[in-house]
Amino acid sequence: MTENFFPDIPPDLLTALLENPYESMILVDKDGMVRFLSPANEEFYKTTIDRIKGRHILELNPQSELQRVIHTGRAEIGRLIKLQGRDHIIARIPLKDSEGMVIGAVAKLMFVQPQNIRQLMRQVEVLESRLDYYQKELKSLYSKHYTFDNIAGEAKPMQEAKRVAIQAARSDLTVLITGETGTGKEIFANAIHQMSDRRDNPLVRVNCSSIPHELIESELFGYESGAFTGAARQGKPGKFELADKGTIFLDEVGDMPMVMQAKLLRVIQEFEVDRLGGLKPIKLDFRVIAATNQDLQARIREGKFRQDLFYRLNIFHLKTPALRTIREDIPRICYHLLSKFHEGKLSAPKRISPEAMSLLVHYDWSGNVRELQNVLQRAVSISRDRTLYVDHLPMEIQDRLPREQEPRHLPGKLKDEMAIAERQIVERALRITQGNRGQAAQLLGIHRTGLYQKMKRYGLQDYE
């Protein structure tokens, strides 16, 4: 019969599979009659299959509970039982035909060696206590780093952002944080959570833009065992479940696909999630903080963001200001960042020269505080001094310098400095005349060929 069912598996291989010494298995039919006993079990029950075949399971083991599994049709996995005075882990599995009718059951013993169980339990205990330790450590690290004191800046828009954040932290309402990249949306979200009553529970961050579309649903809502092919056997909780009693931080929410937005809206209105393949919704208690660097109003107009979701998120609206709109705060933020780099490193630079600071204040910072932080980090790593000078800044920032008041740290040779100035003057003339060579030459009071020579010398020959 086995040949018909498994034409690709030779019968001797199947027999070897069933009889392998690591398999401790009893097979009964729907009436509880023993049909198969693996050799490991023959040894255990001190009997042979020939003697027990066709006899009732209770005759073999008066405590057997296999009949219950035949009756309920539900598997019982990982139960602990005592057999002949020793601990065992048992799995009882109903066997069904193609129509789902129970036709028998199998019992498998695992970890027949009790010392294995004890060892496993010990490992679990060690892991649990380590997890507990790391959770506490992480919490104290978080609460130290993510406080409002760690958000530098006191300009008006910054004060306003902090005011809204503190109000939001005292409530349990949804917060929407918007602002350009690198403006501190994530540290604000963390600071709000740390200041809220939920601080002892996790803040779970979901990056809505980096999860592949087809996985968002299972990531957010979780799945039950066997919900789809490839799903892990035990099922998995989603991020919302992990955030139960804490905060869920929906980062880059503006990038969430439309279909998911509808489901998200339902979850944050009902405080219930349905795991994929799950039968019953799970009630949860979470707080939502969402953030995006997208212009959500524009996304709504383009039909890429749901208006109802926007209204549901936009209860507290916190705007993180772009760095170029709070230039007066740049020195303060620079020194805040420098002091952070210092922690533990006494020799790191502590000062920024006035010239370098002036460049930092006037630069356009499209990457905001994150970009400023990177620039300072690089400057600190190349500086041999206690002070950061213009030369420690990247060229693109030095280039923003108005050349007339070039505050270089040390002047170069006169010849080189004159050449720099001359190049700048030629370039300015070309810019003003929109690249018209004749007019530029006239403006500078030199001959056209003279202008061409200078343009060539300074690499401006293709100026348009």
Ligand X SMILES: Nc1ncnc2c1ncn2[C@@H]1O[C@H](COP(=O)(O)OP(=O)(O)OP(=O)(O)O)[C@@H](O)[C@H]1O
Of residues 35 and 370, the one with the C-beta less far from ligand X: 370
- One residue of 37, 69, 152, 388 binding ligand X per CB under 6 A: 152
- Give whole-number Cα distances, 93 to 38, 74, 96, 226, 273, in Å: 16, 7, 10, 16, 30
H/E run at residue 37: strand 34-37
- One residue of 23, 29, 87, 186 binding Mg ion per CB under 5 A: 186
Stretch that binds Mg ion, among 181-189, 200-208, 260-268, 343-351 (CB under 5 A): 181-189
Determine if 179 is a binding residue for ligand X (CB under 6 A): yes
Determine if 293 is a binding residue for ligand X (CB under 6 A): yes
CB of 282: closest distance to Mg ion in angstroms? 28
For 103, the 3-state DSSP assignment is strand
- Give whole-number Cα distances, 312 to 175, 197, 269, 306, 318, in Å: 10, 21, 8, 10, 15
Of residues 172 and 186, the one with the C-beta less far from Mg ion: 186
Determine if 246 is a binding residue for ligand X (CB under 6 A): no
- Give whole-number Cα distances, 373 to 99, 122, 378, in Å: 65, 46, 9
- One residue of 336, 408, 423, 437 binding ligand X per CB under 6 A: 336
Of residues 253 and 451, the one with the C-beta less far from Mg ion: 253
CB of 420: closest distance to Mg ion in angstroms? 40
Stretch that binds ligand X, among 82-90, 185-193, 356-364, 383-391 (CB under 6 A): 185-193
Total of chain residues touching Mg ion, rule CB under 5 A: 2
Q: What string marks each residue from 358 to 377 as x (binds ligand X by CB under 6 A) or -?
A: -----------xx--x----
For 25, the 3-state DSSP assignment is strand
Determine if 151 is a binding residue for ligand X (CB under 6 A): yes
The residue at minimum Cβ distance from ligand X is: 184
Work out the burial of residue 98: count CB atoms within 10 Å of its CB; fewer than 13 is exposed, 13-18 middle, 19 or more buried.
exposed
Of residues 159 and 347, the one with the C-beta less far from ligand X: 159
Q: Residue 183: which of ligand X, Mg ion, none does it interact with, CB under 5 to 8 A by kind?
A: ligand X
Bridge partners (DSSP) listed for residue 288: 248
- Give whole-number Cα distances, 109 to 22, 23, 73, 94, 104, in Å: 10, 8, 19, 15, 17
CB of 254: closest distance to Mg ion in angstroms? 12
CB of 185: closest distance to Mg ion in angstroms? 5
Of residues 179 and 246, the one with the C-beta less far from Mg ion: 179
Stretch that binds ligand X, among 38-46, 76-84, 181-189, 397-405 (CB under 6 A): 181-189
CB of 314: closest distance to ligand X in angstroms? 17
Q: Residue 179: which of Mg ion, ligand X, none does it interact with, CB under 5 to 8 A by kind?
A: ligand X
Q: Residue 460: which of Mg ion, ligand X, none does it interact with, CB under 5 to 8 A by kind?
A: none
Work out the burial of residue 433: count CB atoms within 10 Å of its CB; fewer than 13 is exposed, 13-18 middle, 19 or more buried.
middle
- One residue of 185, 198, 392, 454 binding ligand X per CB under 6 A: 185
Q: Hey, what's the torsion of the CAs at 428, 431, 435, 441, to 10 degrees?
A: -30
- Give whole-number Cα distances, 336 to 176, 191, 392, in Å: 26, 17, 18
Total of chain residues touching ligand X, rule CB under 6 A: 18
CA distance 285 to 440: 70
CB of 292: closest distance to Mg ion in angstroms? 9
Half-sphere exposure of 334 (CA within 13 A, CB side): 25
Question: Which tokens in the block code for residue 419?
Answer: 């050449």
Beta strands in 293-435 (DSSP E): 316-319, 351-352, 387-388
CA distance 106 to 26: 6
Q: Residue 455: which of Mg ion, ligand X, none does it interact with, CB under 5 to 8 A by kind?
A: none
Question: Which tokens in the block code for residue 458?
Answer: 């300074």
- One residue of 40, 60, 83, 187 binding ligand X per CB under 6 A: 187
The answer to whether 164 touches 318, Cβ cutoff 8 Å, is yes
Stretch that binds ligand X, among 24-32, 183-191, 303-311, 425-433 (CB under 6 A): 183-191
Q: Residue 246: which of ligand X, Mg ion, none does it interact with, CB under 5 to 8 A by kind?
A: none
Work out the burial of residue 392: count CB atoms within 10 Å of its CB; fewer than 13 is exposed, 13-18 middle, 19 or more buried.
buried
- One residue of 183, 194, 196, 261 binding ligand X per CB under 6 A: 183
Q: Which residues bind Mg ion (CB under 5 A)?
A: 185-186
Q: Which residues bind ligand X (CB under 6 A)?
A: 151-153, 179, 181-187, 293, 320, 333, 336, 369-370, 373
